[in-house]
Amino acid sequence: MSARTKIEKIETFVVEQRLRKPFYFSQWEYDRRSICLVRIITDDGTYGWGEGHGPAEVVQA
Q: Rounded to an integer, what distance in angstroms lies between the CA atom of residue 61 and that of residue 52?
A: 11
Domain that holds residue 27: 7-60
Query: pLDDT of 24-59, one tens digit each?
Result: 988 888 899 899 999 999 999 999 999 988 888 888
Q: What is the structure's pLDDT at 55?
A: 82
Task: List the CATH number of the domain containing 40.
Answer: 3.30.390.10
- Whether 2 is covered by a domain: the verdict is no
What CA–CA distances, in Å, run from 48 to 1, 10, 14, 18, 38? 12, 10, 16, 27, 8
Can you give the pLDDT at residue 57?
84
Query: Would you say residue 2 has pLDDT above 60?
Result: no
pLDDT at 47: 97
Cα–Cα distance for residue pair 11/60, rounded to 1 Å:
9
Domain count, the chain: 1
pLDDT in tens, 15-25: 999 999 999 98
